[in-house]
Amino acid sequence: MKRSGLTLLGFIFVGGLLGGVLGEILRVFAPAGMIQDIFTQSVSPGLDPPFTVNLVLLKLTIGFIFKINLLTLLGIFLGIYLYKNI
């Protein structure tokens, strides 16, 4: 079976997305405490506020934020593991 880089990116993206969703669910439903803090504390690197270029005829706004928590990282590693073993 031939594997491509695009397939790997797909596995990483889906794993990170599922981990992020699980982290948000845990943040809402888990009781407050140390376990909730460990799994739901996140880092948000990116462009905030967005970068805007006004060219009179065209106005471009570019911005992004990655919200990464521990479950997102675990999802990414799970995606890589599944890619290598399937």
Domain count, the chain: 1
Q: What is the pLDDT of residue 3?
A: 78
Q: What is the pLDDT of residue 66?
A: 87
Residue 59 lies in a domain: no
Residue 19 lies in a domain: yes
State the CB neighbour count (10 A cutoff) for residue 69.
22
In three-state form (DSSP H/G/I as H, E/B as E, the rest C), the secondary structure along 24-70 is HHHHHHCCCCHHHHHHHCCECCECCCCEEEECCCCEEEECCECCECH
Three-state SS at 1: coil
Round to whole Å and give the CA distance between 58 and 33: 49
Residue 57 lies in a domain: no
Q: What is the pLDDT of residue 53?
A: 92
| 9 touches 64 (CB < 8 A) | no
The residue among 14, 73, 13 whose CA lies nearest residue 38 is: 73
Note down the domain range covering 14: 5-44+65-85
Q: What is the pLDDT of residue 82?
A: 93
Q: pLDDT (tens digit, 0 to 9) for every residue of the chain, 86 residues total?
A: 577 889 999 999 999 999 999 988 988 888 888 888 888 888 889 888 889 999 989 999 999 898 899 999 999 999 999 999 98
Q: What is the pLDDT of residue 41?
A: 86
Q: What is the pLDDT of residue 1?
A: 58
